Amino acid sequence: MRDRTVSRQTSPRRSRSSVLLLGLAVLLAACGDAQQNALDPAGPYAQGPHDLIIPVAIIALVVFILVQGLIIYSVVKFRTRADDDGSLPKQVHGNTRLEIVWTVIPALILAGIAVPTVQGIFEQMNEPDDEFMVVEVIGHRWWFEFYYPDHDIYTANEMIIPVDTPVRLEMTAADPARSPNQGVIHSFWIPRLAGKQDLVPGQTTFLNMQADEPGRYIGQCAEYCGLSHANMRARVVAMTDGDFQTWVDEQTTPADVPEEGTLEADGRELYHDLGDRMACASCHQVWEDGARNPNTGPDLTHLMSREEFAGAIHDLDEENLRQWLRDPNSMKAMQYEVNGLGMPNLDLTEDEIDALVAYLLALG
Amino acid sequence: MSTSSETKPLRPAQETGLLSWLGTTDHKRIGVMYFFTTLVFFALGGAESGLLRAQLAQAEQNLLTEEIYNQVFTMHGITMVFLVIMPLSAAFFNYLIPLMIGARDVAFPRLNAFSYWVYLFGGIFLYSSFLLGGAPNGSWVGYAPLASDSVSNMGFYAIGLQILGISSLAAAVNFIVTILNMRAPGMTFMRMPVFVWMALVTNFLLLFAIPVIAVALFMLQFDTLFGAQFFQPGSGGDPILYQHLFWLFGHPEVYIMILPAMGIVSEILPVASKKPLFGYAAVVFAGAAIGFIGFGVWAHHMFTSAIGPVARSAFALSTMFIAVPTGIKIFNWVFTMWGGKLKFTTPMLFSIGFVSMFTIGGLSGVTHAIVPHNAQQHDTYYVVAHFHYVLFGGALFGLIAGIYFWFPKVTGKMMSEKLGKLHFWTWLLGFNLTFGPMHMSGLLGQPRRTAVLPGELGSTVELYNLLSTAGVVVLTGSALVFLYNLLHSIKRGEESGLDPWDARTLEWLTASPPKHHNFDKIPTVTHRDEFWHRKYAEDESGMPISVPAGASEDHDGEDDPDEHIHMPDNSLWPFIMCIAFLPFGYGLVFLNPWLFGLGVLWMVVGYFGWIVEPLAEGDDDDVPDDVHDRPTVGATTH
């Protein structure tokens, strides 16, 4: 654990050296507010690949300087000068020894790089050595759903994990419900915690992840998945073990049923029945008792325990919820009318919106 | 031409005017048509990139809706790959291969016209989608099952690329046969210009790679249009199968785009350095090796897809392996300059720019092979930066070098060197300003194909994006300088003379622009760089000395013209037949059997018209001109 901390402290210097490689060091000084920064690993599954790429980047930098240096030297040294006598230079056709040199040396360098690369591939993909937690990730157009099989918890957009514990994500993709018939490929990517891995409908892929420090790590879908691909973001919130246990306890408690006669109770009624319009409950779930039955839309049981919604592109507050219910397409591009993906506009009246928002805000 | 052709309305004998172009079978005119068509598509693809960069100039901008943005980036990719870089290479193949190998035309002149018209109508077909319910929006790779979803509008993609593939396949067969069978006497393989070698490798790659994407596109088309389930996991299909098929084409495709430019640079560097190419055999064999290994690296586009650790390891190794022949080429180019007397003409500047920028793209490519870290790079702007350094800094720089270099061959005039240098320096600046920062914005977490730049990525990422957008402004200005130079020089450029660069290869042996039949007498080749050896000999120490007679003015090829020159006559049938691809394609996309049937019928009629028409009417001997009366516009003198 300690060496991890050490390597984390050195990472700003390392990321700087990799930038040098790209010849853009001047502009790096300002990268402090980059939160989705792949050069700033915050866990072992991001740190390992980072430690592998830095030496490679340095080798690439050396080769870069060598080749560009040769080009610049040739350009300066062998330019035709003003006092040129018009004679032709010596006609050299090649040099076998040199050909061998620049075939063998790069091949050896690459062979040297190949060994740790192959080791790294297996380390990255195998199950973690320590005891790990499993979270199932399902990619929908355009939001991530998380299911905790050990605790029977469904949540969306924000994945909560305990710090210092390896998490193995078991991932797939499906639209709109849990059938792969309409799913498309997504990719789950939280750069500071791990590289990305695609989510493929009909298959399960795996990704290891671990956070060293509590915090909110941001990421997004990294495989183009259609209209609102840009609006499919994700968060991983790492908590101390105590906080995580509190969260689990909260999530495994059924939602409160509001008291009769309150605005919230009216909202709950509308949630289940909107007359001839489709009710919220036909796509979403608010678990009150019995078994949890996941539905096609995000689970709303403890909606307000999350900070963001709509693919984690909007803060979860009253104003945004109102606008979302009034006209979801104005907040996120969706295509419910075309192929049933996303939130439909339910033509709610302002009174209905008042009641529904009151109900949703009470889902703590 | 024979008089009998005048009685056939479908066989235009005119040598100027629209019909002469619609019916031409002259490889040079077809090359010119390819060239100007790619310019139009380049303008369209460039305008699309302008829209993309305008949207991403600032965070959270919504100049374009997601729907439009997704169409625009999809079409940008399709355009630049299939409608610009590949056909621009084909323009060079067309114009140069017969001239460089001492032939009078390609092996199948009407098939050559066919290739062009298929390309043109395929491009029109793809672009008409904007007016017919929206362009494809499933990205240029068209991954299933997203692409099979009708909202992705990928019918135009599946059928449009299929049509363009027909063009490439026909052209590939044509060029391969031309190169293998029609070389001048004495031009052995190892005396061929490197450009011709790279063209040969490229066309073999096309020949083997296009059928693979054809299969993928057929399956995608059946999924999209007829509800087949090839890539639908719910019914037993496999989405990853599409990726394998696509990239099994897609990676050789990268070399299809870069090898012609490598060939061009391998011609220009020796001329501008006044030295032969360093390590000719190494460059040729490295090119061929790239062609072979290029078929074994495809899954490195899929390192984050559903493939296991063994596959990831294998493709990491093959990807690293392919860096070796690429490195060989780069060192040979640098050592071609070493010890020479370099003249920094515009083509030379672009060639040096190619070597330099392509090296950057090659090195970032090696970093992709570090698979554990590829998971961070994949599908970010780091990758966007990488492949633009390869395809723009590489392929396009090389092709532009070729435009400046062979412009005097095609027109008999020079492009302005002053404007050419202005073009180069602004192009280099704009290119690096656009794509350099993308390395960083990608590593700082910006994924590609996102219609909105999220503000939460931070101000640094925003700054890099703004720089990229500024770079596109510079590139636009630079492109306008080029366009002005090109069009102005066609009309008013200085006379180039026969050998403006002190060149080395056979195409400079004949008139500029070349006559319709290229060479009055097919030259006999005794050396690699034949034309150079007719001008210079080497003394015992390897120092070249001018041949006393001044061979560039008096090369023997033209003194004793061949008596029988057989040239194909014009034919309208390729053009007529290819129009059928429009109703054919629309019929498939809109599932309209009448349009489809019309297209098929039209094609069959065109095909039979083509079959029954003889290659040339009557006695087709073209009598050579008096060699001392050199024509200024070759194709119009007969």
Among A138-147, B55-64, B421-430, B531-540, whose mean pLDDT is lowest? B531-540
pLDDT in the model for residue A33: 83
Contact at CB, A201 and B239, closer than 8 angstroms: yes
Residues of A in contact with B335 (CB under 8 A): 95, 98
A58 vs B contacts (CB less than 8 Å): none
Kindly indicate the confidence band of residue B234, based on its pLDDT and cuts at 50, 70 and 90.
confident
Residue with tokens 């020796």, as numbered in its chain: B270
Distance CA(B218)–CA(A258), nearest Å, equals 56
Alpha-carbon gap, residue A278 to B272, rounded angstroms: 73
> Do the Cβ atoms of B375 and A23 come within 8 Å?
no
In this structure, the strands spanning B536-538 and B544-546 are antiparallel
Residue of B nearest to A45 (CA): B372
Q: Does B61 touch chain A (CB under 8 A)?
A: no
Question: Nearest chain A Cα to B141, which residue?
Answer: A224
Which ipTM was obtained for this model?
A: 0.90
CB contact under 8 A, A33 and B339: no
* Structure-token match 């990730």, residue found: A137
Mean pLDDT of B189-218: 96
Taking CB atoms and an 8 Å limit, are A91 and B544 in contact across chains? Answer: yes
Taking the Cβ of residue B536 and every Cβ of chain A, the question of whether any pair is shorter than 8 Å is answered with yes
Q: Is residue A159 a contact partner of residue A146, using CB atoms and an 8 Å limit? A: yes
Chain-chain contact of A185 with B145 (C-beta, under 8 angstroms): yes
Region of poorest pLDDT, from B132-136, B351-355, B614-618:
B614-618
Chain A CB within 8 Å of residue B290 CB: no
State mean pLDDT over B203-232.
93
Is B313:A118 a contact under the CB 8 Å cutoff? yes
Radius of gyration of chain B (CA): 25
Q: Which residues of B are catalytic?
A: 76, 105, 140, 167-168, 251, 253, 255, 266, 300-301, 326, 329, 448
**Burial degree of A291 (CB within 10 A; 0-12, 13-18, 19+):** exposed
Q: Which of residues 596-625 of B touch A (CB under 8 A)?
A: none
Q: What is the pLDDT of residues B583-602, one digit of tens each?
A: 999 999 999 999 999 999 99
Query: Is the CB of B538 less than 8 angstroms away from the CB of A56?
Result: no
pLDDT for position B632: 40
Give which of A17, A184, A331, A335 to mutate to test B binding, by max B Cβ within 10 Å: A184
Domains B30-219+563-638 and B246-284+295-461+481-492 share a fold: yes
Q: What pLDDT is attached to residue B549?
A: 43
User: What integer pLDDT is reported at residue B620 of this predicted model?
Assistant: 53
DSSP letter, residue B299? G
Cβ–Cβ under 8 Å, residues B346 and B415:
yes
* B304 with A126: Cβ contact below 8 A: no
Q: How far does B381 lie from chain A, in Å, by closest CA?
A: 11
CA B159 to chain centre: 21
Domain ranges of chain B: 30-219+563-638, 246-284+295-461+481-492
Q: Do B372 and A124 touch (CB under 8 A)?
A: yes
- State pLDDT tens for residues B15-49: 788 888 999 999 999 999 999 999 999 999 999 99
Rg (chain A; Cα; Å): 27
Q: C-alpha B151: how far from its chain's center?
A: 31
Beta-carbon contacts of residue B620 (< 8 Å; ≥ 6 apart): B1, B2, B566, B567, B568, B569
Q: Which residues pair with A308 in a beta bridge?
A: A315
A67 touches chain B (CB under 8 A): yes
- Cross-chain Cβ contact B339/A78 below 8 Å: yes
- Length in residues, chain B: 638
Is it the case that residue B426 has pLDDT exceeding 60? yes
How close B332 gets to chain A, by Cα (Å)?
8
- Residue A48 sits at the chain B interface (C-beta within 8 Å): yes
CATH superfamily, domain at B246-284+295-461+481-492: Cytochrome c oxidase-like, subunit I domain (1.20.210.10)
Contact A335 B543 (CB under 8 A): no
Torsion of CA B344, B349, B351, B354, to 10 degrees: 150
Tell me which residue in A32, A37, A53 faces B367 most closely, judged by beta carbons.
A53
The answer to whether B235 contacts chain A (CB < 8 Å) is: yes
Topology classification of domain B30-219+563-638:
Cytochrome C Oxidase; Chain A (1.20.210)
The answer to whether the CB atoms of B437 and A179 lie below 8 A apart is no
Phi, psi of A133 (to 5 degrees): -105, 145
Task: DSSP for B50-78, please give it.
Answer: HHHHHHHTSTT--SS-HHHHHHHHHHHHH
pLDDT of residue B225: 81
Give which of B319, B267, B293 is closest to B201, Cα–Cα.
B293
Q: Considering chain B, what percentage of its residues have pLDDT values greater than 70?
A: 91
- CB distance B46 to B476 below 8 Å: yes
Q: DSSP string covering B78-95, please? A: HIIIIIIIHHHHHHHHHH
**Within 10 Å of residue B106's Cβ, how many Cβ atoms?**
26
Query: B113: closest CA among B246, B196, B24, B182?
Result: B24
Q: SS in 3 state form for A151-190? A: CCEEEECEEEEECCCCEEEEEEECCCCCCHHHCCCEEECC
**Alpha-carbon dihedral B602, B605, B609, B610, rounded to 10 degrees:** 60
Instruction: Please tell me the predicted confidence (pLDDT) of residue A99.
Output: 94
- Predicted confidence (pLDDT) per residue in B287-322, tens digit: 999 999 999 999 999 999 999 999 999 999 999 999
Encoded tokens for B49? 């990139």
Would you put residue A317 in left (φ > 0), alpha (ψ -120 to 50) or beta?
Answer: beta
Each residue's pLDDT expressed in tens, for chain A with a length of 364 residues:
334 333 344 444 444 445 454 544 444 444 578 899 999 999 999 999 999 999 999 999 999 999 999 999 999 999 999 888 888 898 889 999 999 999 999 999 999 999 999 999 999 999 999 999 999 999 999 999 999 999 999 999 999 999 999 999 999 999 877 777 789 999 999 999 999 999 999 999 999 999 999 999 999 999 999 999 999 999 999 999 999 999 999 999 999 999 999 999 999 999 999 999 999 999 999 999 888 888 889 999 999 999 999 999 999 999 999 999 999 999 999 999 888 889 999 999 999 999 999 999 999 8
Assign domain A263-361 one CATH number from 3.20.20.70, 2.40.30.10, 2.130.10.10, 2.60.40.420.
Answer: 2.60.40.420
In angstroms, the CA A244 to CA B145 distance is 37
Tokens of B531: 């034309």
Inter-residue contact B417 to B346 (CB < 8 Å) = yes
Residue with tokens 């035709």: A80
Closest CA of chain A from B407, distance in Å: 23
Examine the pLDDT at B6 and tell me if it is beyond 80.
no
* Contact criterion met (CB below 8 Å) for B256 and B294: no
The three-state secondary structure class of B605 is helix
Q: What's the CA gap between B110 and B24, in Å, rounded?
A: 8
Residue A307 DSSP symbol: S
DSSP B391: I
Helices (H), A126-262: 241-251
Q: Which of B67, B374, B538 sits opposite A333 (nearest CB)?
A: B67
Which amino acid type is present at position A277? R
Tell me if chain A has a CB within 8 Å of the CB of B457.
yes
Of B146, B363, B374, the CB nearest to A185: B146
| Torsion of Cα atoms, B32 then B34 then B37 then B41, to 10° | -140
A71 touches chain B (CB under 8 A): yes
Confidence of residue B561 (pLDDT cuts 50, 70, 90): low
Does the beta carbon of B338 lie under 8 angstroms from any beta carbon of chain A? yes
A177 chain-B contacts, CB cut-off 8 A = none
Q: 3-state secondary structure string, B517-572?
A: CECCCCCCCCCCCHHHHHHEEECCCCCEEECCCCHHHCCHHHCCCCCCCECCCCCC
Smallest CA–CA distance from B315 into chain A, residue: A118
Residues 305-364 of chain A whose Cβ lies under 8 A from any Cβ of chain B: 313, 333, 335, 338-339
CA gap A26, A17 in Å, rounded: 12
Mean pLDDT of B125-148: 94
> Where residue B539 falls among pLDDT bands split at 50, 70, 90?
low
